[in-house]
Every structure is written in C-alpha cells, then in structure tokens.
Amino acid sequence: MTVTMDKTDARVRALAARDGAHERARDQAAQARLRAALLPYRGRPLAGFLPIGTEIDSRAVMAEMCEHGPVGVPVTPKRGNPLSFRLWTPETPLIEGGYGTSWPAEGPEVVPEVLIVPLVAFDRAGNRLGYGGGFYDRTLEALRAQRPTVAIGYAYGAQEMDDLPLEPTDQPLDAIVTERETLRFD
C-alpha cells in the first residue's frame, strides 16, 4: 500500500471520528485550553482558521486575540503554493473560496509568528494529517525558514490516531490542543 492510499484511508477514519466528536462537542473546554496555549504569544501576529464543516471552532479565541495583535486567516492559493493570511476580525466581510473555505474580501496581509492549525488527524508525537493539499506543510516550512514559528494544532481528541502515514515534507506541530488536553512538543 502506498503512503497516498494510507493517508486516504486515515483521512476517512479521522473525519468520521471528527464528525462524531463535533456532535458531542464541548467547545468551552477546548477554547479555554487554546486560550491558555496562546497566552505566551499574545500580541504576536497570529493566524487562525475559519472552520469548515465539523472542524473545531477557534473563532471566539481568535476574536479575543484581535484585541492584542493582528490575526489573519488563510487565503487558499493555487495548488502547490503556500498559504497567505489576510487580516481578520469578527466583523470582517468574507468571500467564499473553494471547498467550503472563506476569507476576508480585502485587507492587509498578516505574516504570522504563531499559527492555529486545523487538521484531520494527529498523533502524540506532534504529527498531523491534513486534507492532502500540503498547504500548511509548505507554509510552515517557508515561515520556519525565515524565523521561529509556532504551530499549534487544534482538534477534537477523537481525531487522535496511533499511527499516521507520514512523508518527509510533513511539518511537525509544536503543540496540539483538544477539549481533553494540551500536548507540547519541545
């Protein structure tokens, strides 16, 4: 079996687990943990994400972070390119992108030092499985080549998997926050 086939199978299983977790969501606990994980970085340029489907929702914490520094959300580029991030506030008008995404219609670019990273699955070693486009891997690689960049995965605990299919281009996370716990990888 190839890594691509392994990743496809892992995504199917992880998305089913995420759907079930979303129905039983306890977002308050997850938001409190995310808030605590971001506290040391308050005021630094931050990138969050606007949830797609049953992704865990970080918007309340992102809105709080807007009071202390710039917060951006991803603008999805053509396949094969890294993400860019556009300034976001809860009042920012959004436009629809592909695959259920949305981003600010206009506004300045934010170059984040800290990212809240969505994911399909994660493991206890700080690895993540995304949707398969490689956008966050390319983005983290480019940002980390310029300066230290912190990547905090945000997901439901049910999205944890014991054995993720990984490739050399997959970028590790510095922490993972769920409604159950915060994992740190120093």
| Domain regions of the chain by residue span | 3-184
CATH number of 3-184: 3.40.50.10420
**Of 144 and 23, the one with more pLDDT:** 144
pLDDT at 79 over 70: yes
Residue 95 CB partners (closer than 8 Å, separation 6+): 102, 103, 104, 105
Q: What is the mean pLDDT of residues 96-112?
A: 90
Q: What is the mean pLDDT of residues 92-114?
A: 90
pLDDT at 3 over 60: no
Q: In which band, very low, low, confident or very high, does the pLDDT at 118 lie, cut at 50, 70 and 90? A: very high
Q: Mapping DSSP to helix (H, G, I), strand (E, B) and coil, where does residue 119 land?
A: coil
**pLDDT tens digits along 53-74:** 889 999 999 999 999 999 999 9
**Of 152 and 9, the one with more pLDDT:** 152
Distance of alpha carbon 177 from alpha carbon 113, whole angstroms? 18
Arithmetic mean of pLDDT over the chain: 90
Cβ pair 177, 34 in contact under 8 A? yes
Return the ∠ at Cα 157 (arms to 171 and 124), rounded to 5°.
45
pLDDT at 26 over 80: no
Distance of alpha carbon 149 from alpha carbon 54, whole angstroms? 27
Report the percentage of the chain scoring pLDDT > 70.
92
Q: In which band, very low, low, confident or very high, does the pLDDT at 78 lie, cut at 50, 70 and 90? A: confident
Residue 37 vs residues 58, 146, 154: alpha-carbon distances, Å: 12, 23, 11
Q: What is the mean pLDDT of residues 79-89?
A: 93
Distance of alpha carbon 64 from alpha carbon 35, whole angstroms? 9
**pLDDT tens digits along 27-48:** 788 899 999 999 999 999 999 9
| Residue-level pLDDT at 22 | 65
Distance of alpha carbon 146 from alpha carbon 20, whole angstroms? 39
pLDDT at 15 over 80: no
